[in-house]
Amino acid sequence: MVCFHFLTDYKCFNSIRKSQSLHHERECLMEKITRMTLEGISAEIGISRTTIYKVLKGKGNVSERTRELVMEALEKYHYVENKNARNLALNRQYTIGYSGFRSKSANYFSPKVRKGIDRAVKEFGDDGLNVILSEFDVEKPWQQMEDVEKMLEQGVRCFVLAFSHKQVIEKILCRLRNQGCRVVLLSRDFEKEDDQSSNYYVGVDYYRSGLLAAELLGKMLPEKGKIFIPVTGEYHNNQDIQARLKGFLEKIKEYAGCQILPVVHDLSEKEAVYREICGCIEREPELNGIFDLTYQLDIVARALRERGREDIKLVGFDLFKEIEQEVADSVIDAVVYQELSRQAYLGMKLLFEEMCYGVYQEKKKFYSKLEIVTSGNLCYFKGEW
């Protein structure tokens, strides 16, 4: 059975129907995100439109409790005053499909992307933007193909895609190209030597992020330092991780005193990451630095704490709740950070401006600003996860 949850005006209607998937049956969650009118909000919360209008304008006698309920609803349902009703009056709708992954090891990814999508809906909803959103299990990447097919059946022709598997996304992009669809690749790019596609990419310059990480670690270490690099099992099929490692290894050569220990690959399970870090500490008493490419900084930091080696400099990527305290305590000395919500917002904006306003960008790659987060500036980033 395939279960679709469509959220229209943020009211949820469940429907269950039988569907033949591309491979086999599975559960799928899809949401349709649109803006809600004052009339809709009024019906939803049981407060008159007149009272809501008073709250908006700051006029009239309204109880504090009612004001709180109204303000919460306005935020929840993405309401902003309609300053341009041209497309609503013409009943024009512009639908973008988002398909991205859910991951236990990167559980911050989905909420941050949704935050950016919500911002786009809030900003462009009056001009007719709708978003159909679906997410798949990162361990089951073929599910993304099914989600995209379902959206194509609903008439979607513009997509923002965050993918986890090279072969799957290649098939999806071929399918969408044959359908004349417009695509933004989010967070990870996909390129082939003969690729002549006009897809947008919004995300990080991974090679440059590796350069930056090497500069950070190189400057943190004393004149002589041994550096260990643990790497996730995704490395072999992920050009972005490969680019990060390449950038790091090239840049660190500028720091003559730094010695790179043999790189250890295929560290995906938490227990394996923990064991390898502890083992390296035991084997290398003069270990001075770790460049983490397992994307499990919380596990690496835990190993350093429990072995009493907080003196080892640790640099990695991404910022999420589980490592907040470790950054604050400088067990993790620095992370290279990208704001995913901004990326998601920009991806939606690029496609919406094409559909609604006919604005096409010659530039195809939009690289996010790389930010460095340490204990000294962590306070500015709290709440972003």
Same domain, 298 and 319: yes
Evaluate if residue 21 carries a pLDDT over 70: no
Give the residue with greater pLDDT, 83 vs 365.
Answer: 365
Q: Does residue 245 share a domain with residue 160?
A: no
Q: Domain holding 263: CATH number? A: 3.40.50.2300
How confident is residue 114, by pLDDT bands cut at 50, 70 and 90? very high
pLDDT, mean of residues 8-32 = 42
Residue 55 lies in a domain: no
Do the domain assignments include residue 110? Answer: yes
Residue 382, judged by CB atoms within 10 A of its CB (0-12, 13-18, 19+), counts as: exposed
Q: Is the pTM of this model over 0.75?
A: yes
Q: For residue 20, what pLDDT is reported? A: 38
DSSP 21-87: -SSS----EEEEE----HHHHHHHHT--HHHHHHHHHT-S---HHHHHHHHHHHHHTT----S--HH
Residues 282 and 152 in one domain: no
Domain annotation covers residue 235: yes
Look at residue 42 and tell me if it is in a domain.
no
CB 138 within 8 A of CB 166: no
**% of residues, the chain, pLDDT over 90:** 62
pLDDT digits (tens, 9 = 90+) for 230-247: 999 988 888 899 999 999
Q: Say whether both 15 and 94 belong to one domain.
A: yes
Residue 199 has pLDDT above 60, yes or no: yes
Q: How many CA atoms lie within 13 A of 151 on its CB side?
A: 33
Q: At which of 337, 359, 378 does a domain end? A: 337
The 10 Å Cβ neighbour count of residue 244 is: 28
Q: Report if residue 60 sits inside a domain.
A: no
Average pLDDT value over all residues in the chain: 86
Residue 365 lies in a domain: yes
Give the per-residue pLDDT at 90: 53
Same domain, 111 and 162: yes
pLDDT of residue 41: 84
Contacts of 246 (CB under 8 A, 6+ apart): 207, 210
Task: Give the pLDDT confidence of 256-303 residue by residue, as tens digits.
Answer: 889 999 999 999 899 999 999 999 999 999 999 999 999 999 999 999
Same domain assignment for residues 92 and 175: yes
Shared domain for 321 and 347, answered yes or no, is no
Note whether residue 69 is domain-resident: no
Q: Is residue 13 pLDDT above 50, yes or no?
A: no
Residues 220 and 191 in one domain: no
In tens, the pLDDT along 37-88 reads 777 788 889 998 778 877 877 777 888 899 889 888 888 877 766 555 555 5
User: Which residues on adjacent β-strands are paired with residue 26?
Assistant: none
What b/e sequence results for 79-96 when a residue is b if at least 16 CB atoms lie within 10 Å of its CB, and e otherwise? beeeeeeebbeeeeebbb
How many CB atoms within 10 Å of residue 315? 26
Is residue 44 situated within a structural domain?
A: no
Residues 232 and 355 in one domain: no
pLDDT of residue 3 exceeding 50: no
- pLDDT the model gives residue 194: 57
* Backbone phi and psi for residue 67, each to the nearest 5 degrees, phi listed first: -60, -40
Residue 114: domain span: 2-35+78-204+340-369
Give the count of domains, the chain: 2
Q: What's the pLDDT at 10?
A: 30
pLDDT of residue 22: 39
* Domain match, 214 and 311 both: yes
Extract the tokens encoding 68. Answer: 């709180």
Contact assessment for residue 385 and residue 321, using Cβ atoms and an 8 Å cutoff: yes
The answer on 139 and 12 residing in a single domain is yes
Residues 243 and 332 in one domain: yes
pLDDT value, residue 48 = 86
